[in-house]
Structure 1
């Protein structure tokens, strides 16, 4: 009788055997470190292209060669410290908060979550990361990246900490949150699409369901992550361009060219044309999908290890 009573409890308890949010956060942070080191040059090129209003750079390759030849190869890794720190914290918060949000939308009996729940969880994670981490770090990163040359004495911003202090002193604390509105829209939309797409690709391509104990191969995670990372840049291009322009503005003295997100979109469209709102799209596509491929390859291995060690072999 006792053994018969214990068996039905196993299926009902199985939905609770999920990867905890803190492990999702750890997996994201490790993935962020690897991604930042690999893809920083593409991010520098993207920023330079988005800030180029005079046609100095004729494309991705020309921009990269120009920067490296005139400023040195190290210039392609400008802003790496805030970028790596920002990615690590961002992915930690993104993966952890998304897991928390998803747990709120999961069916209490089956442990499953609908695509609608995934979209809302991803959007919530994107908004949270945009307001708490992404905006101030990207303001510092962009200010550092737009500076030309490597001679520290000639640069306005000597490094990440000095840059942040200078912005606060000259523009106030809110200067670190310049471009917050388009950043929220960009990240919220991106993460809503990315988490939903990643899960869909895992299911369709590899028959992988979260919590089933199956660990994807590195190349499988990279393919799913790459495809999941392609949708966002097309949808959020204008938000990304506006974000960069707003963050690059110096509030010290004079009048700001762009008054806000909507004003910036209208001004860029009127002065530079519609396609200017998608400036830097190609380097974004060169950075984001490969970045997601790298991040998910690392994150899936970390969560897969946890799943094999603590969930699959957990006593029933």
Structure 2
């Protein structure tokens, strides 16, 4: 029987380089974006719907496809795919760097609180550097309705970004930064902690043990790890979308910040409005995490198997 690092009592866990994890995340992000963009478009349209024009996920999707063409379900794909690729690279790489600060010098293990803090830090960093500006552009593109390209305000991602900067200043690309930081920080803290816990609980897989999980095993762990975040962070996601959708250069802003937006939405639309778009988020994020980890674990696992041999004490 093949001996792994976890089988040896005198084995030292060696670190996987952050660049390997960054690469694994970026490859997973490309696959996720291509598969799940229509669900993201539907989620955005539902969150921006203040009048009840859409009666649910299926009605929203069929309405968009019927009135704007099937290709409209992939609106914003370029910034979404670029955003996911860069986001996952930064998330996985920065999390690996941060975890390095919490590793035990003797065993190489990371405590649960160290894993949680590292995940939160990675989420905050990705929110500020990548997620907010890319999602502002994506949401502005997704909220546009109509078939005529000439009548659309934003002609594409680059034109959209330039228009926002010209009309609203550079700060316009960081509209909704506060709820995005809260959403991503909390999501990643929970996700990295849960993913590690499910790997150990379900498959007895420990990072650095030289084993490569089968893709379906990684996908199950990733799916389960991705379920808690959307429920906990629903209000932050709705507020983020509303803040990003409103332009700064078109009169007085309806929502003036994170807490003002929460109070306004609650007063005008009720408590459940703060979880609008939750079902499509649950349809997108857990499967998305399943796809990402199914790809990422193969890259990381192959690196472990080839380059991290047992290192006896």
RMSD between aligned residues: 1.5
2:192 corresponds to which of 190, 195, 212: 195
2:103 corresponds to which of 103, 106, 112: 106
Partner of 1:6: none
Partner of 1:115: 112
Per-residue Cα deviation, 1:219-273 (whole angstroms, up to 9, x for no partner):
1000000000000000000000000000000111310000000000000000000
Structure 1: unaligned runs, 5 residues or longer:
1-9
1:293 and 2:290 are equivalent in the alignment: yes
1:208 and 2:183 are equivalent in the alignment: no
1:171 corresponds to which of 168, 174, 185: 168
Question: Are the aligned partners of 2:12 and 2:311 in contact in 1 as well (CA < 8 Å)?
Answer: no
Partner of 1:57: 54
Partner of 2:12: 14
Residues 212-231 of structure 1 mapped to structure 2, 5 A cutoff: 212-231=209-228
Partner of 1:265: 262
User: Quick one: distance in 2 between partners of 1:88 and 1:314?
Assistant: 33
1:37 and 2:34 are equivalent in the alignment: yes
TM-score, length basis structure 1: 0.95
User: Quick one: distance in 2 between partners of 1:120 and 1:252?
Assistant: 37
User: Quick one: distance in 2 between partners of 1:19 and 1:11?
Assistant: 20
User: Quick one: distance in 2 between partners of 1:126 and 1:174?
Assistant: 20
Distance 1:314 1:38, change over 3 A: farther
**Tell me, what secondary structure is at the counterpart of 1:264?**
helix
User: Quick one: distance in 1 between partners of 2:236 and 2:250?
Assistant: 26
Residues 67-78 of structure 1 mapped to structure 2, 5 A cutoff: 67-78=64-75
User: Quick one: distance in 1 between partners of 2:30 and 2:62?
Assistant: 25
Deviation at 1:314, TM superposition (A): 8.4
User: Quick one: distance in 2 between partners of 1:295 and 1:27?
Assistant: 8
2:240 corresponds to which of 240, 243, 249: 243
Deviation at 1:311, TM superposition (A): 1.2
Deviation at 1:150, TM superposition (A): 3.4
1:182 and 2:179 are equivalent in the alignment: yes
Determine which structure has greater relative contact order: mean sequence separation of CA pairs < 8 Å that are 6+ residues apart, divided by chain length: 2
User: Quick one: distance in 2 between partners of 1:44 and 1:199?
Assistant: 30
**Tell me, what secondary structure is at the counterpart of 1:14?**
coil
Question: Are the aligned partners of 2:11 and 2:311 in contact in 1 as well (CA < 8 Å)?
Answer: no
User: Quick one: distance in 2 between partners of 1:254 and 1:134?
Assistant: 26
Partner of 2:45: 48
Structure 2: unaligned runs, 5 residues or longer:
1-7
Any runs of at least 4 consecutive aligned residues in structure 1 with deviations exceeding 6 A, and if so which? 10-13, 313-316
User: Quick one: distance in 2 between partners of 1:101 and 1:111?
Assistant: 13
Per-residue Cα deviation, 1:289-309 (whole angstroms, up to 9, x for no partner):
000000000000011111111
Deviation at 1:186, TM superposition (A): 0.1
User: Quick one: distance in 2 between partners of 1:262 and 1:269?
Assistant: 11
Residues 300-315 of structure 1 mapped to structure 2, 5 A cutoff: 300-312=297-309
Deviation at 1:276, TM superposition (A): 0.1
Per-residue Cα deviation, 1:58-81 (whole angstroms, up to 9, x for no partner):
000000000001100000000000
User: Quick one: distance in 2 between partners of 1:294 and 1:47?
Assistant: 21
User: Quick one: distance in 2 between partners of 1:202 and 1:12?
Assistant: 22
Question: Are the aligned partners of 1:47 and 1:280 in contact in 2 as well (CA < 8 Å)?
Answer: yes
**Aligned length, in residue pairs:** 306
